[in-house]
Structure 1
Amino acid sequence: MTRTEYSWLLPSAMAADPDLYDPEPAGERPVRTNARGRIRRTVRDWVVDLLFFLFAALMAMIVIDQSHQFNGNQAVVRFDEIVGLLSCCAVWLRRRWPVQLALGLALVGIFSPAVAGALVVAVFSLAVHRPFKAVAIAGPIMIAFGVVQPFVRPDPTTSVLASVIAGLVVLLLALGWGMLIRSQRQLYVALRERAHRAETEAELRAEQAQRLAREAIAREMHDVLAHRLTLLSVHAGALEFRPGAPPAEIARAAGVIRDSAHDALQDLRQIIGVLRAPGDGPEDRPQPTLATLDALVEESREAGMAVVLDNRVQDPDRVPAVLGRTVYRIAQEGLTNARKHAPGAEVTVAVTGAPGTGVVVAVDNPAPSGPVGAVPGSGQGLIGLTERATLAGGSLEHGATGDGGFHVRAWLPWAA
């Protein structure tokens, strides 16, 4: 969580100074606020603050005891006692105003060494809860106050130089320790956010893969079942509108309907098997290839269509299976559309190509010779063919011709 996102959780006094305020990283602990929007302390916070308070109180008592022994001025002793007590209580404000607390205690510490313990806690809290910019500004000021303090209130048990060095070492250690803890927390937050981002990206990739798989299955279902069901519709319509047809023709149409229904059922079972978990579905059926294009054309001829196949592919045995299946599906959809929208018209299926130049599939039909009734269709077949050709690295175009016919032309790459 960034500083800006976090600021609405803070009291107005802290949110008004975003350059200095930088909340504790979200990885340290969950943020809890009360009804007024102030950050509530957790049990861990209370324990840590209590330990810091006891440390400040112990240091204050040691300094006050020395003041009793070596200082005969009772007013100075009372001053140290009051200042030491107030500094210990101020430790509880270290999370809310670490910069102000550290600078204030450093200033008061010039006149009273009783705030030494509370000052160490404040310096440590400043380095933990504020960015380096705030530490870089407040640090030199506190160091300057620490250098002045031994001259204003010298320690009777040691020299001024030793007091200055000891004070600087303690301040620098507190600053370094706090900055180290802050960097560790930020590293933890960065690693956690990176892991969360990786999980999110993995979920998105999985969702995208599932969506692409669903689209591929839907495209396959349309390409396969539309062809079979169109045969059923055409022959069922023929039986409906020609009840007096010769028995041989009726038997032939019924046989085509039976075979088409059986093939459609097998194709549907195959697709359902793909949707199931591995091992739950039937054995995979052989996928269509360029070699099965002749069977597709023959099936359409048996259904009463006039189809001319012009297959001039060089070295057809080297055609990859995926490329052959795409050619088959394009021809299948073209024949299905011609059967629905141009019944009785002669359809031409032309396939040409060679390794290195690609394969061109063209399905053309002239305008229908008679009126065409209303045929259900949504145009998803041509959309699916375009997507299929694009996924294969090729292109597909379709549209009406000048004489009222329709053409479908696709180019598919074939590596040399």
Structure 2
Amino acid sequence: MDEDNTNQVENKNAMADALNSVHDVKVGDIVKGEILAIDDDKQLIVGIQGTGVEGVVPVKELASQPVADINEVAKVGDVLDLVVISTIGKDKENGSYLLSKRRLEARKVWSEIQDKFNAGENITAPVTEVVKGGLVVDAGVRGFIPASMIQDHFVDDLNAYKGKELELKIIEIEPSENRLILSHRAIVEAAKAEQREQVLATLKAGDTVEGTVARLTSFGAFVDLGGIDGLVHVSEISFERVEKPSDVLKVGQKVTVKVLSVDADRERISLSIKATLPEPWTGIEEKAPAGSVLEGTVKRLTTFGAFVEVFPGVEGLVHISQISHQHIATPNEVLSEGEDVKVKVLEVNPDAHRLALSIKALTPKPSSEENHSAPKAETNHYQDNNSSYQDNDDGGFTLGDLIGDELKHSTDNDQK
């Protein structure tokens, strides 16, 4: 065979090999492409290695994020891993295939996310966009967090999350439909559950801890101790009488509380703010000695007298007989709750938390008043928050104890 014939045979074989290799390139194949040129900064012209044909990579198929300048991410001579998306035109011999780097990377990401989902692992991703109904994140592929899965409470402003990186639980994954549903709420709830277990395991009655007011109700305040709430009953907020917790506390306020009891099985913790405060009756003999004059506020009116608060958490009783020189049937004839009054201390019993007070002792006795005998003592039973007052109780104040020398002095003058 002469040389010309030999060359012709070799050329035919080479063409046949090239044609065979072209047919080997199929949609979905992963190939390597060498960048031959950058066309108008809009696409790459690549040679598919081992095939002798060319393909095109549009700029939008280069990366998952928009590319501002194609020359910053690619240059002639670079070799890229690409996936064949489709064919372009009918001339496969000269070739043209639409190729993508972005989709190949996404395929790898989907595979990694699927592995993490199967293993029960979480992922971390930044929030890139706020859309109707939730948040969009970049997890290498587009992920979506429904609004109900962002937090364990209602989120008013979703824009506050834009740009933040969140730990996320994979709820649903479907690569064929590019669907990835994620939840940050599940992460928050799991963290709080762990904190709750730790708090219940370590907290005990008598401990003093810091907390944050989480919720206010009519009966008390729920304080967050770090993953679990404890209840401060309204009676344990202050030594002063508190009508509504919202009058003295605010949501978000930092407070110091004492643990009264812990029920780990029912996950209930009873707390007290009052128990961390100074006892208001401490030093009362120095603050309110017998004979001293104090200013106070009428807190409660009963049939037998008026309770007057002279210091925060310290109330004393003005017996009905010590309200006025004139005879009155009920205290509310001359006093009103909330009224500011001056009182004289008749007697102090710090152990029993009792003060006997008088308003009458600070007012002049009318000259026309003629009383020939002291008013007959009536047996009354009444109770304060901390202790009981009882006229005929040997351990408490009798009427004579309540009135003391003031009544005796007044009676002696009347009989002269």
Q: TM-score range by the shorter chain?
A: under 0.3
Higher helix share: 1
Q: TM-score, normalised by structure 2?
A: 0.25
TM-score normalised according to structure 1 size: 0.25
Higher relative CO (Cα under 8 Å, sequence separation at least 6) belongs to: 1
